[in-house]
Each structure stands twice: as structure tokens, then as C-alpha cells.
Amino acid sequence: MTKWLLAAGVLIPLCGAQATQEPEAVYNRVCGACHSGQLPMAPERGDQAAWTPRLAKGMETLVQHVTQGFKAMPPRGLCMDCSAEDYQAIILWMSESKPGP
């Protein structure tokens, strides 16, 4: 019985996993160094033309690219304390249209 309770205690948090960090804060701390126009291949926040084909590959693929590194993107996007849920939230935040003035 103790083993079952221990297993449930470990697995329950995984079922309801959500991003633990604010996407904008992570972007400002880590992602913006490349995604704010310094690297031409890194899609900028709100650039629909750049994000649409990437999003078409699926969120699982995009998170895998961030986690493992892809082309010029370093593994984990240099965010060593980000979870898969954090990456997903950041990708969604970055791919949204920028709010108007």
C-alpha cells in the first residue's frame, strides 16, 4: 500500500503540470537575447510569417527542438530551469501577435 501511495504522490503532479514561470519573464531573461532581432533565423515575438510554418510542425516538435537544440538554437534554449510546460507557454506567448500601441 505504501508503494502505491508513493507512486501516486510522484505521478499526480505530472498529470496537472502547468508552466511554472511567466513566459514574458523567461523571454526577457533568456529568449530575447536571440529572438528580439539579433539573430535573423530566430523568429521574433509576434512575427506571424515566421511562426506559422513552425507551429504547423506541432507543439511536440517545437518543444523537442528547444529541449535538444535545433540548428542555431542551443539545447534548452539556454533556460536550464525551464520545464517542457514552460517551453510550450513561451512558444505560445512568442507566436502571438504583438499587442498594438
Quickly state the pLDDT bin for 14 (edges 50, 70, 90): very low
Q: Going from the N-terminus, what domains does the chain have, and what CATH number goes with each?
A: 21-93 (1.10.760.10)
Please determine, for residue 13, whether its predicted confidence score (pLDDT) is greater than 80: no
Distance CA 72, CA 95 (A): 19
Supply the pLDDT for residue 6.
Answer: 43
Residue 78 falls in which region: left (phi positive, over 0), alpha (psi -120 to 50) or beta: left
Inter-residue contact 54 to 43 (CB < 8 Å): yes
Question: What's the whole-model pTM score?
Answer: 0.77
Supply the pLDDT for residue 19.
Answer: 72
**What percent of the residues of the chain are helix, what percent strand, and what percent coil, each to the nearest 5?**
60, 0, 40
- Of residues 60 and 38, more confidently modeled: 60
